[in-house]
Amino acid sequence: MELLVSLLLGAGGGNLAGYLLKGKSLGTLWNSVVGILGGGIGAFVLGLLNVGTGGAEWLWTVVSSLIGGGALLWVVSLFKK
């Protein structure tokens, strides 16, 4: 269940980053795809670092997914040109 939430929030993070970084947007579909991948990666990295093992684990899932989705969109957009 946590993985599904991470992926969905990653899609949101990718689209939010695409909205905020107008020149970096890949379109809604690709922003979502890249965001989903970034959300999964972000959640995985925080799991490896053992971050968010307290009572606010859901908060770390949200933060890592949004940041991971946005960051991966930014990296992919650098290679878009």
The confidence score (pLDDT) of residue 7 equals: 76
- Residues 32, 33, 34, 39, CA torsion sign: positive
Phi/psi for 29 (5° steps) reads: -65, -50
pLDDT tens for 24-38 read 788 899 888 888 888
Question: pTM of this prediction?
Answer: 0.74
- The one-digit pLDDT tens for each residue of the chain (81 residues) are 667 877 787 788 778 888 887 777 888 998 888 888 887 787 788 778 877 656 666 677 777 777 777 788 788 878 876
